[in-house]
Amino acid sequence: MPTGLILQPTYTVRDDRPVVQLFGRLVDGPAFLIEDDCFRPYFFVRARDVAALGAVPGMSVDVRDLRDLEGTPVARVVLPLPSAAAALRDRLGRAGVTTYEADIRFPYRYLIDHGVRALASIDGTAEERDGLLLYRNPKLEPASGRPSLRVLSLDIETTPDASRLLSFAIAGCGAEEVHLVGKAAVAGAVVHADERTLLKAFVARVRALDPDVLLGWNVVDFDLRVIARRLAALRVGDGIGRVPGRIGFEQDRTFTRQGRAEVPGRMVLDGGGLVRDALRLEDYRLETVARAVLGRGKLLAADHPDPAAEINRLYRDDPAALAAYNLEDARLPLAIVEHEGLLELTLERSLLSGMQLDRVGASIASFDQIYLPELRRRGIVAPNVQADRPFVAVQGGAVLDSVPGLFRNVAVFDFKSLYPSLIRTFNLDPLAHARAPHDGADAIVAPNDARFSRRDAILPALLDGFLARREDAKQRGDRHADQAIKIMMNALFGVLGATACRFFDPAIANAITTFGQQTLRWTRAAFEDEGRAVLYGDTDSVFVELPQGVSGGDARALAEALRARVETYIKQRVRADYGVEPKLTLELEHVLERFFMPRVRSGAGGSKKRYAGWVDGKLLVVGLESVRRDWPVVARRLQEGMLEHVFTDRDPMPFVRDVVARLRAGDLDHELVYAKRIRKGSVERYTGAVPPHVQAARKAGSAAGPVIRYVITRSGPEPVLPGHPLPRDVDREHALERILRPVADAILPELGQSFDEALGRLRQLEMF
């Protein structure tokens, strides 16, 4: 039987019947469409509430041996259309009648019931229709395999107001082309007489190349929205999908507010979104990412003061240069995604979760795809999501008080996948929580007093399977599968702690974190019983000072012996206190030759989540200014330079004085630029105290983007705009006092030095 990747699950209504449509591509084969008109939408109500359903045309009700998590019998309510199911669900909700699984999207309900995630074996006869293999009502089963996807990257150029399309470029699927509106031949481009002809060519080329994935940079919110508007305005064709249909748009309802585009039969992926999920960069403009990843940028100068006007000028005066620029902007997203393996990672996440490629980040929906089939196998139905559930705080991981200062020989120990390991060890699971006896001694009782069954659980076995798959991925060197499984496992706790999850229960989420807090406290006590000082601890890691007389391989051997004894102690305590077999693994992550824990500013205690270390000749920095993307580059220059000097036993003061002198001379003005995001969406939403970056954004006007770059001048914050020089009156004293001093004062006092020395000022005691 053929195996296919399901790219897009959707449905249509034909002759008053819902038809599930699954678009995809066969493994090493052509594109396909599965249509099933036998499946009907349904949900559940309590058996005692059946009378409240009333009379609904086409509805049927059957009582099966199914129950909710509380053990109450339920009945299945089958409706003729998804719209009828939604209407009845809403009516019952207004009447106070509880429904179950009534909010699951119809095509995903189909996949869940067939036990299929992203790959399926297809048992049926295919016919060819419009270049697709069409399967009608086949039998589907879960499958494995690795499909090859056809990816087409696109980019358009428009008039400055985006009211008219000037050209489009495509790269991928064996093609690299530019199409342009013009009256004469243009080198490197196919010329069309008018915009309507250009759009018809675009539709024809997409259909002919038949990509599975359309890629671009801001492709949803710009390129495709412009194309959709112009297709409609000029009444061109039936769209660019595998079947007729317009391009649809949807705004993600989560905090990301990321746009999604629906093209029948194809996936649309934004290259910027893929990079944002995988890499930490100063910003995610195509120019910035291309230079960071590929070492090359766009053909139009990144600092051009008015790119839109320049594109218009090129179109008028040098269309061949515009064609080259347009094509490079189509090539770059594809090259970036291929270089970083981002499509492979996205595909792996889809195969693992069953979510379509543009929704692999939807952790809650992914959890449903994995958990609901297992729940049904046990004869249980799930609750609806409680959309109006109030926010409930979930406890975080333990953070131990730190010991500030400079240290030698510090071992960093880390519990491998701590939260998944705790779930596996203690049966921390919605079903186990619901089934736990409320009296007697048989339950596992968490530190927050939540109770869990020792027998009935789903997540531990699922996690065992994920771990086995991850080890297999590591053995075969498949970094994408390894990363995808890691993301999925780490998301499980986040899902259970999210009020938007249908299984959210603060007792479960807090059971996981309080078990983690207890484990970290036990670990600190175990190391202290070994006579070793614990300098810091955070969630799943502890920093332990080793004897000063050892180094290199001897230090690592000592740390490894400590690790083994402490892990044994933790496991013995879990067995003794809870009567379960521990799945906890303590690993030795680093032996830092030098370690620095800064003090709390204006205090004597140590910081948290901020430290630096030196290992194998490299600097490790966490949480400090040098790794903050919103801080000026000069902070990184000073901090990393000072730490490297200190960690290699060199006096940092000459280096600090040199940085101060260069800053005062104006040599480092370009490193004094802040970059901060306008987090409220627009500057108009800041109605109270106005922070400096918002002041700068207001001065920038329409040139301000979501991330504003600015410097502090003697007259206040000023924007730094592409193509414009830095303001001349940069306030270097502000930079010395507000940027460099906090960085220097965190380190120099540990050496008996001060930043005032670097500034050439006498310290207070030296004045007497």
What band does 287 get if pLDDT is binned at 50, 70 and 90?
Answer: confident
Question: Nearest-CA neighbor of 352 among 482, 525, 158?
Answer: 482
The pLDDT score that the predictor gives to residue 255 is: 42
Helix (H, G, I), strand (E, B) or coil at 606: strand
The pLDDT-based confidence of 279 (bands split at 50, 70, 90) is confident
Measured CA angle at 52 (ends 46, 58), to 5 deg: 95
**pLDDT tens for residues 578-589?**
999 999 999 999
Q: What is the mean pLDDT of residues 430-437?
A: 90
Q: Please report which confidence band the pLDDT of residue 285 belongs to, taking 50, 70 and 90 as the band edges.
A: confident
Q: What confidence tens digit (pLDDT) does each residue in 113-122 have?
A: 999 989 999 9
Residue, of 231 and 768, whose pLDDT is higher: 231
- Tell whether the model's pLDDT for residue 440 goes beyond 70: no
pLDDT one-digit tens code per residue, 407-427: 999 999 999 999 999 999 999
Could you give all domains of the chain from N- to C-terminal order, each with its CATH number? 3-142 (3.30.342.10), 151-340 (3.30.420.10), 385-457+495-597 (3.90.1600.10), 631-767 (1.10.132.60)
Please give the pLDDT value at position 441.
Answer: 67
Predicted confidence at residue 680, as pLDDT, reads 65
pLDDT score of 130: 82
pLDDT on residue 767: 44
Q: What is the DSSP letter of 533?
A: -
* CA dist., res. 426 & res. 463, Å (int): 13
pLDDT of residue 89: 96
The span from the first CA to the last CA of the chain, in angstroms, equals 91
pLDDT in the model for residue 688: 74
| Residue scoring higher pLDDT (394 or 261) | 261
Strand order from edge to edge, sheet including 73-78: 60-67, 73-78, 42-46, 99-100
25-73 pLDDT, tens digit per residue, is: 999 889 999 999 999 999 999 999 999 999 999 999 998 899 999 999 9
In whole angstroms, give the CA distance from residue 283 to residue 286: 9
Q: How far is CA 42 from CA 139, 276, 477, in A?
A: 20, 38, 43
Distance of alpha carbon 285 from alpha carbon 287, whole angstroms: 5
**Residue 108 to residues 6, 17, 113, 368, 426: CA-CA distances in angstroms?**
11, 17, 8, 10, 31
% of the chain residues with pLDDT over 90: 70
Yes or no: say if 246 and 228 are a contact pair by the CB < 8 Å rule.
yes
Q: For 702-706, which contacts have Cβ atoms below 8 Å and span 24 or more sequence positions? A: 704/678, 706/677, 706/678
Paired residues of 356 in beta bridges: none
Q: What is the pLDDT of residue 768?
A: 41
Mean local confidence (pLDDT), 193-212: 96
- Mean pLDDT, residues 301-309 taken together: 71
Query: CB within 8 A of 258, min separation 6: which ones?
Result: 220, 251, 252, 270, 273
Written as one string, the DSSP assignment of 612-654 is EEEETTEEEEESSGGG-TTS-HHHHHHHHHHHHHHHTT--SHH
Position 551 scores a pLDDT of 78
241-258: per-residue pLDDT in tens? 999 999 999 876 544 456
Quick one: which of 177, 307, 165 has its CA closest to 228? Answer: 165
What is the pLDDT at residue 765?
42
What pTM, to 2 d.p., does this model score?
0.86
Q: What is the pLDDT of residue 112?
A: 93
Give residue 302's pLDDT.
57
Give CA separation, 187 vs 159, 292, 300, 609, 633, in Å. Answer: 21, 30, 18, 56, 42
Whether 638 has a pLDDT exceeding 90, the answer reads yes
In tens, the pLDDT along 688-716 reads: 778 898 898 888 887 777 788 899 999 99
Q: For 643-683, how does the pLDDT look when each residue is reduced to its tens digit (9 = 90+)?
A: 999 999 999 999 999 999 999 999 999 999 998 887 766 77
Q: In the numeric block, which tokens belong to residue 595?
A: 């370690």
| Residue recorded with tokens 């008109």 | 37
Return d(Cα 411, Cα 653) in angstroms, integer.
28
Q: What is the pLDDT of residues 538-581, one digit of tens each?
A: 999 999 999 987 878 899 999 999 999 999 999 999 999 999 99
Mean pLDDT of the chain: 91
Task: Give tens-digit pLDDT for 84-97.
Answer: 999 999 999 999 99
Report pLDDT for 425.
97
| List of E strands, 276-404 | 399-400
Measured CA to CA, the distance from residue 696 to residue 694 in angstroms comes to 5
Q: Which two tokens stand for residue 165?
A: 């399309």
